[in-house]
Structure 1
């Protein structure tokens, strides 16, 4: 009897020491809109040959922060990169189709702009908002090496006041406005882009449908590459 008891005790002790094998995360099935948003998030175009798989790290059978997106590609279709999804990532992947399309257009336009992006350029920016007439006046902006060099208020050509310098935006700043609207899941976003250079020519954002007077509209016009002009000091 003692021998049997000792044998059972040893067997139980041995089984307790054996580690439970880790559970292999299962792949999540995403709908078409989520797939499109995920590929956009990872910088993939619709025609890209890369594939993406999402592992359900939390085993909850739904897309949640902490899940892992794995990209596969190459001749052997092997793993090329992986990304642990955060809260903002999941929000973008689950975004409505309209914002997904806006993100795709933004990616294509921004890529075109980055290919051309002149060192020295000038353009006119005008804001439409629930603000004073002075703020709605167009601003002629000159940019050199990514920084605003000079900003004047039209039509009189006076320097932009010091307290309004933040409203003198570069083209890159306009792209950031669009990125922000998508990241914040804006209720409405409409953008048109210049077919040659890719920069936004018109931006219309409504962040909250139920909130008044927070809409923003920006228009960019009279764009010209100013590489032949001598840089001047910003006023």
Structure 2
């Protein structure tokens, strides 16, 4: 009886080796990314605003307060802290810190890079209507133990191109 169970288990393992792995996270992430990019191509636009919030240990001495990003014709034109002080209501956020997250295409690139690098952690949530990423949680392999980044996108709005 034990030998038969072992033989069946071995046959199932051999048969499964020839099939696609249903738990292949990289393949799943690539398919989701392709689906989201296609939806963005149909439903998105070249000009928009959104708020980006970054949680990480990546910006010592730099504020990680939420930043309002304005994109016109596919190019970021401003990154302003949402809660700037009354004396200066338009404090620009660091391009070095927030630059990789200031267009939808760049957000897609962050995700693709994480897949290509076989990230230890990659969790992405996409907007159902437009396809842009709403949350990205990533920690790359070989990175420092505090190299995890979480990116939140909110208050997204398409704007007329000018």
Query: Structure 1 length normalisation: TM-score?
Result: 0.54
RCO higher in structure (CA 8 A, sep ≥6): 2
Residue 148 of structure 2: aligned partner: 215
State whether structure 2 residue 18 is matched by structure 1 residue 31: yes
Question: Structure 2 CA distance, aligned partners of 1:183 and 1:135?
Answer: 29
State whether structure 2 residue 63 is matched by structure 1 residue 135: yes
Question: Structure 2 CA distance, aligned partners of 1:32 and 1:109?
Answer: 26
State whether structure 2 residue 43 is matched by structure 1 residue 116: yes
Question: Structure 1 CA distance, aligned partners of 2:60 and 2:112?
Answer: 26
Question: Structure 1 CA distance, aligned partners of 2:37 and 2:19?
Answer: 24
Residue 23 of structure 1: aligned partner: none
How many positions carry a matched residue from both structures?
A: 138
Residue 120 of structure 2: aligned partner: 187
Deviations 1:61-104 (A, max 9, x none): xxxxxxxxxxxxxxxxxxxxxxxxxxxxxxxxxxx711211111
Question: Structure 1 CA distance, aligned partners of 2:143 and 2:71?
Answer: 37
Helix, strand or coil for the counterpart of 2:20? Answer: helix
Choose from 124, 128, 152 the match for 2:80. 152
- Report the alpha carbon displacement of residue 117 of structure 1 after superposing the two structures with TM: 2.3
**Structure whose CA Rg is larger:** 1
Question: Structure 2 CA distance, aligned partners of 1:222 and 1:106?
Answer: 21
Structure 2: gaps of 5 or more residues = 1-16
Question: Structure 2 CA distance, aligned partners of 1:220 and 1:112?
Answer: 17
What do you get for the CA RMSD once the two structures are aligned? 2.3
- Report the alpha carbon displacement of residue 209 of structure 1 after superposing the two structures with TM: 7.1
Question: Structure 2 CA distance, aligned partners of 1:119 and 1:98?
Answer: 30
- Report the alpha carbon displacement of residue 133 of structure 1 after superposing the two structures with TM: 7.0
Query: Structure 2 length normalisation: TM-score?
Result: 0.76
- Report the alpha carbon displacement of residue 119 of structure 1 after superposing the two structures with TM: 2.3
Question: Structure 1 CA distance, aligned partners of 2:106 and 2:112?
Answer: 10
Check the 8 A contact 1:125/1:220 in 2, yes or no: yes
Decide whether aligned partners of structure 1 residues 127 and 33 sit closer, same or farther in structure 2, where only a CA change above 3 A counts: same
Question: Structure 1 CA distance, aligned partners of 2:32 and 2:19?
Answer: 18
Structure 1: gaps of 5 or more residues = 1-29, 37-95
Q: Which moved more, 1:178-187 or 1:165-174?
A: 165-174
Residue 98 of structure 1: aligned partner: 25
State whether structure 2 residue 108 is matched by structure 1 residue 175: yes
